[in-house]
Chain A
Amino acid sequence: MKYTLKKSVTLIVSLLITSVLTFTAFQIIPGDSALNALGMDATEEQLERYREEMGLNKSLPVRYINWLKGALKGDFGYSTQYQMQMKAGTLIKERLIVTIWLAVMSFLLIVVISIPLGIFSAGKKNGILDSFITLITQFFMSVPPFFLGMLITLIFGIILKWFTPGSYINPGENFGQFLRFMIFPAIAVAVPKIAMTVKFLRSSLLREMELDYVRTAKSKGMTKARILIRHILKNALIPVITFLAMMLADILAGAILVEQVFNLPGLGRLLVSSISNRDYAVVQAIILYIVSVVIIINFLVDLIYQWIDPRVKRD
């Protein structure tokens, strides 16, 4: 119980720190947001009115509180990169779905492929197959996800014509087509991570196999398979869980890059264009979202950890 409490406190503190940092970071940028929003032709009067409306004249802490209040409701102010007056929140909502789907599909691919592959390669330790697998995993870890995306586009899109590059379809319109298209960017994101996870799982398994309790299990007369499943796997998977949680941050990073390659209308592309266009309200919001999600998921993983590993429960 104490452990959970401690972690919850850390969670809230982290989230608060994040929001403060995110907000403050963008306040120190030189440049007048009023000017940005209204353009060079605006009169001083218009600029002043804008500033009043937006509450830009208030002090930093007050502005922060206002922003935070809005943020919790999903209101992040107005976006400045498009001609029409769009709320930052709306822009984000539209793009969120795409990125979430991309991340989830990648994650599923990773879990479904890495675990059997990891177990398999640990079993074939020291064989020729093992060296080969190691080489392949090293190779795929060296490929930047966006380059992989380009290769996939080239090979599967242009040469094999399994999909048409750039033909993204909204999930609302045609869910089947949406999935069929999304699978390719998901693969681009997932492949390097699969390689990393396989490598990690393999070494975790191998490390467990060297431990004394495996020898004890053998001395009891258990078959290799039983030892693997009942004893080793559970122990070896524990560090893998934290690894996968850390992976989440990487998946999001990969998503940002891959969206660019496949021209997906997701958060990543929005982020990049917002930065180029100095649409700070949107940038702030996206950063806050992504970071919060990652922190919350890490928190959940910590809780799961406690449930699985009795050594931690001790607290």
Chain B
Amino acid sequence: MKKMVKIKGKTYHLNYILGLVITSLVLLIVIIGFFYTPYDPNTMNAALKNSPPSLMHPFGTDNFGRDILSRVMVGAGTTYVIAVSIVLIGAFFGTVVGALTGYFGGWLDEVIMRFNDVLTAIPSILLALVFVSIFGTGTYNIIFALGILFVPSYARVVRSEFIVLRERDFVNNAKLMGAGSLRIMFIHILPNTRNVLIPALLIGFNNAVLAEAGLSYLGLGVQPPQASLGRMLSEAQSYLLDSPWYALAPGLMIILTVLGFSLISGGMGND
């Protein structure tokens, strides 16, 4: 039997609990980071340049003498805000497009789906790079670029749910009762997609975090002095030999964030 844990009478999978624990920890750190960090993330201190982890600086300092822990706390916050924005944009527009095409079908559906197919064939990083090369780098640009990139996958997920659900009798019933198409789509059908949509949101968040990290790592995302996890990693690369701890903190943060949410959404599937 998969390891189960009993809490207050309901049984959960161990992995799910683990995910909740990890995520809560990470979120806690980030939320605290909004209000307080041990040091100012941008204060440079040449004297303490590149020092290894110590009691004063649990994760050491970077090449400018800035405290890495504080930077990570703030950087994670930036990454999260970006990721959430991306998912919100992608999910909102994706749901609307998916609902409309899934429910009505027709030639518009065909056209949009072909378009979608082409878009998903392309590695998202590539599209993001194209976007960035056209419109420039920076936080808002990558939110916009990645948000749009996420629309097709949400559209596809919602669309396939709608295609199945629109044939169900409760939809026919709603039509008979006199409900209009919009009402049917968003009040009757949409709630039934939640089993698919919610895990998709979590996974989307993870992908957004990784995508932002990737872009910022390449130097095309968040620009200095703003901190983000990806940015910190690219800065860390040149110091890998001498100060490997530089990379450890932000990397670990990314891993824990993504892992936490994966475990939760994986556990949700099993409930």
Chain-A contact segment, one of B36-44, B64-72, B98-106, B215-223: B215-223
Any A CB within 8 A of the CB of B6: no
B261 to chain A, nearest CB (A): 9
B162 to chain A, nearest CB (A): 21
- Residues 10-45 of B at the A interface (beta carbon under 8 Å): 14-15, 18
Chain A binding surface, main DSSP class = helix
If A257-B214, A275-B132 touch, whether A131 touches B2 (CB-CB below 8 Å) is: yes
Question: Which residues from chain A contact B120 at a C-beta distance below 8 Å?
Answer: 246, 249
Contact (Cβ within 8 A) B254 A158: no
Interface contact A142-B240, CB-CB below 8 Å: no
Bits for A17-38, please: 1 = Cβ < 8 Å to B, else 0: 1100010011011000000000
CA distance A13 to B121 in the complex (A): 14
The verdict on A141 contacting chain B, using a C-beta distance below 8 Å, is yes
Assess the B14–A287 pair: CB atoms within 8 A.
Answer: no
The answer, yes or no, to whether A272 is at the interface (CB within 8 Å) is yes
A44 to B194, CA, bound (A): 61
Bound-complex Cα distance A139 to B233 (A): 19
Q: How far is the CB of B20 from chain A (nearest CB, A)?
A: 14
Task: Report how far A138 CA is from B237 CA in the complex, Å.
Answer: 25
Give every chain B residue within 8 A of A77 (Cβ-Cβ).
none
Q: Is B81 an interface residue (CB 8 A)?
A: no
Alpha-carbon separation in the docked complex, A29 to B133 (Å): 9
Q: Known A142-B255, A246-B120; judge A154-B214 contact (CB<8 A).
A: no
CB distance from B238 to the nearest CB of A (A): 11
B8 contacts the other chain (CB 8 A): no
Shortest Cβ gap from A292 to chain B (Å): 10
B87 / chain A contacts, CB cutoff of 8 Å: none
Asked whether B114 lies within 8 Å of A275 as measured between CB atoms, the reply is no
Question: Given A142-B259, A150-B236, A298-B121, A257 and B254 touching (CB < 8 A)?
Answer: no
B132 contacts A138, C-beta separation under 8 Å: no
Give the number of chain B interface residues (Cβ < 8 Å): 47
Query: Does any Cβ of A come within 8 Å of B108's Cβ?
Result: no
Question: Is A40 in contact with chain B by the CB < 8 A criterion?
Answer: no
Once A138-B15, A142-B206, A146-B214 are accepted as A-B contacts, the answer to whether A291 and B121 lie under 8 Å apart by CB is yes
List of B residues within 8 angstroms of A295 by Cβ: 118, 121
Q: Does A216 make an interface contact (CB < 8 A)?
A: no
Q: Which among B48-56, B89-97, B122-130 touches the partner chain?
A: B122-130
B172-215 contacts to A, CB under 8 A, are: 206, 210, 213-214
B258 partner residues in chain A, CB cutoff 8 A: 141-143
User: Does A276 contact B219, Cβ atoms closer than 8 Å?
Assistant: yes
How many residue pairs between the two chains, A and B, have CB atoms under 8 Å in the bound complex?
137
B7 at the interface (CB under 8 A from A): no
Interface residues on A, range: 35 or more
Q: Whole-angstrom distance between the alpha carbons of A298 and B114 in the complex?
A: 13
Whether B132 lies near A131 (C-beta < 8 A) is: no
Pair A294/B122 contact, Cβ less than 8 Å: yes
- Say if the beta carbon of A250 comes within 8 Å of chain B: yes
Q: Which residue of A lies closest to B132 (CB)?
A: A275
Q: Does B138 contact A (CB under 8 A)?
A: no
Contact with B along A147-168 (1 / 0, CB 8 A): 1001101100010000000000
- Chain B contacts for A260, CB-based, 8 A: 217-218
Considering the chains assembled together, what is the distance between the CA atoms of A148 and B73 in angstroms? 21
Q: How far is the CB of B255 from chain A (nearest CB, A)?
A: 5
Q: How near does chain B come to A106, taking the closest CB pair, in angstroms?
A: 13
Q: Please, what's the 1-or-0 string for A38-59, where 1 marks a CB less than 8 Å from any CB in chain B? A: 0000000000000000000000
Select which of A17, A26, A144, A294 is within 8 A of B214 by beta carbon. Answer: A144
Complex partner residue of A14 from B14, B114, B214, CB under 8 angstroms: B114
B132/A139 in contact, CB under 8 A: no
List chain B residues, Cβ under 8 A from A253: 123-126, 214
A interface list, Cβ under 8 A from B: 10, 13-14, 17-18, 22, 25-26, 28-29, 126, 128, 130-131, 134-135, 138-139, 141-144, 146-147, 150-151, 153-154, 158, 246, 249-250, 252-253, 256-257, 260-261, 271-272, 275-276, 278, 280, 283, 287, 290-291, 294-295, 298
Closest CB pairs A-B (n = 6):
A142-B258, A253-B123, A142-B259, A253-B125, A275-B133, A249-B123
A-B contact pairs, 15 of them (CB 8 A): A10-B114, A14-B118, A131-B3, A134-B15, A134-B266, A142-B206, A142-B256, A143-B251, A150-B237, A151-B251, A252-B123, A257-B218, A271-B129, A278-B133, A287-B130
Contacts A143-B258, A249-B122, A249-B123 supplied; 10 other A-B pairs, CB < 8 Å: A14-B117, A138-B15, A141-B262, A142-B257, A146-B214, A150-B247, A260-B217, A260-B218, A271-B129, A280-B133
